[in-house]
Structure 1
Amino acid sequence: MSRPGAPHRAPATQLASLAVLGDVGRPATLTVPDLRDGWKQHRAEVVFDCATSGPQHHVFEGPLLREVALASYPLFDTRRRKDRSRFALAVSGGDGHHTVLAWAEIDADFGDAPVLLATRLDDEDLDAAGSQLVVPVDRCGARYIGAITRVWVGAWPGAR
């Protein structure tokens, strides 16, 4: 609480960050501006069904999840498709939601889905709110994870 007559100072804006970790050679902690400045931004105009509020129409921008994950050097042989296909990505959000994707879903040699780590939603920066997972190929919005805190990349248990 400020004293009477003292100028009001707004709290410094905290930048949300996410950790890329797991079976990777270079774990990283990235803010939304890091994601915006370090990778090519892709745009996705999506419509997905939300169980609580019906159809959602949004425009997201951000780097491809595949490119961000590859920058952390997953511990697989990039030349061997079967080695890559045993990997998964587990994404955790600040609101307690989680989802899992197979590496093959986002790999250019397999599904090549343009999954994003959004840095902008409907022309608004997500710097303070945190990045959002965007799965444009999904009809359902359950894998649209907000306020991402962690992306774990690793071999499926038992496939090591």
Structure 2
Amino acid sequence: MTRLSTPPTRTAASGTAVSFALCGEIARPASLTVADLRTRYPQRRADVIFDCATSGPRHHIFEGPLLREVAVAAGPAFDARRRKDRSRFLLAVSGGDGHRTVLSWAEIDADFGDVPILLAATMDGRSLASAGSQLVVPSDRCGARYVSAISRVWIGACPEC
């Protein structure tokens, strides 16, 4: 069960800023905090239920920008007009605990999967400023790709096989 909407504007809670690196084959590498995610990008809300291998079904409400909007703003090194050029790009997301996952650009691209994946700035109404942003994949039934305390988002082309 997933519902996405634009949440009401709220002021981010203050606290220790935790940042993550936005890097790879992009024109504008950056270090982003939860406050940056809240103030620089439109906010979306995802009401999700997913299965956790250790604690069973989990229900949370996350808010934050779409991963696609943050990634596009970074200026990925592909020709945006060419679908095949975009479809060869990947996004690798790393968490503070060493958890990592990989997404294809096609998953988040409006011409392909158009999956509304978030870089969450809040969870259940609480700011993630001191814990770090969380990757939220609302379409996933299991929570394995929900990466907590994001430390790095790498964007780049799939290597030749």
TM-score (norm 1): 0.91
Three-state SS of the structure 2 residue aligned to 1:142 is coil
The gaps in structure 2 that reach 5 residues or longer are 1-13
CA distance in 1, matches of 2:97, 2:75: 27
The structure having more radius of gyration, on CA atoms, is 1
Cα displacement (A) at 1:147: 0.2
Correspondence for 1:117 among 100, 106, 119: 119
Alignment of 1:128-147 (within 5 A): 128-147=130-149
Three-state SS of the structure 2 residue aligned to 1:20 is strand
Find the counterpart in structure 1 of residue 159 from structure 2. 157
CA distance in 1, matches of 2:27, 2:43: 24
Q: Which amino acid aligns with 2:127?
A: D
Find the counterpart in structure 2 of residue 148 from structure 1. 150
Find the counterpart in structure 2 of residue 9 from structure 1. none
Find the counterpart in structure 2 of residue 77 from structure 1. 79
Alignment of 1:26-105 (within 5 A): 26-105=28-107
Per-residue displacement from partner, 1:60-113 (whole Å, max 9, x unpaired)?
A: 000000000111100000000000000000000001100000000000000000
Correspondence for 1:127 among 123, 126, 129: 129
Cα displacement (A) at 1:14: 2.6
Correspondence for 2:20 among 18, 21, 40: 18
RMSD of aligned alpha carbons: 1.2
CA distance in 2, matches of 1:143, 1:104: 16
TM-score (norm 2): 0.90
Cα displacement (A) at 1:158: 1.1
Q: Which amino acid aligns with 1:86?
A: R
Cα displacement (A) at 1:13: 4.3
Q: Percent sequence identity over matched residues?
A: 68
Q: Which amino acid aligns with 2:121?
A: T
CA distance in 2, matches of 1:131, 1:107: 21
1:61/1:13 Cα in 2 relative to 1: closer, same or farther (>3 Å)? closer
